[in-house]
Amino acid sequence: MPSVKTKEKKSMKMPEVKQKAKALGITSGKMNKLELIHAIQMSEGYRPCFGTSNGQCVYTDCCFLEDCLKIRV
């Protein structure tokens, strides 16, 4: 049987994070990527938990899920 290739999502780069923040009315200023992602998460009604999942997360519809699950604390 031929193998099925799945399209892996790329990590969200800073310009994309800034664009998402701007669309939500968040001014990025001098925030680093982690701070900006946390601000986006709070704006979207999530807990600002990016980077703390340790491979597990209940927010399966968060746009940062795949990147977050890759981070091990």
Q: What is the pLDDT of residues 27-62, one digit of tens each?
A: 999 999 999 999 999 999 999 999 898 888 888 899
**Rounded to whole angstroms, how far apart are CA atoms 39 and 35?**
6
11-34 pLDDT tens trace: 889 999 999 999 999 999 999 999
Domain range enclosing 58: 14-70
Does any domain span residue 8?
Answer: no
Say which range, 6-10, 38-42, 68-72, has the weakest mean pLDDT: 6-10
Whether 51 maps to a domain, the answer reads: yes
Residue with tokens 């290739």: 5
pLDDT of res. 53: 85
Rounded CA separation 62/5 (Å): 24
pLDDT at 13: 92
User: Does the residue 4 lie in any domain?
Assistant: no
Q: How many domains would you assign to the chain?
A: 1
Q: Is residue 3 part of a domain?
A: no
SS3 label, residue 67: helix
Residue 57 counted as domain residue: yes
Residue 60 lies in a domain: yes
**Distance of alpha carbon 64 from alpha carbon 70, whole angstroms:** 10
Is residue 64 a part of any domain in this protein?
A: yes
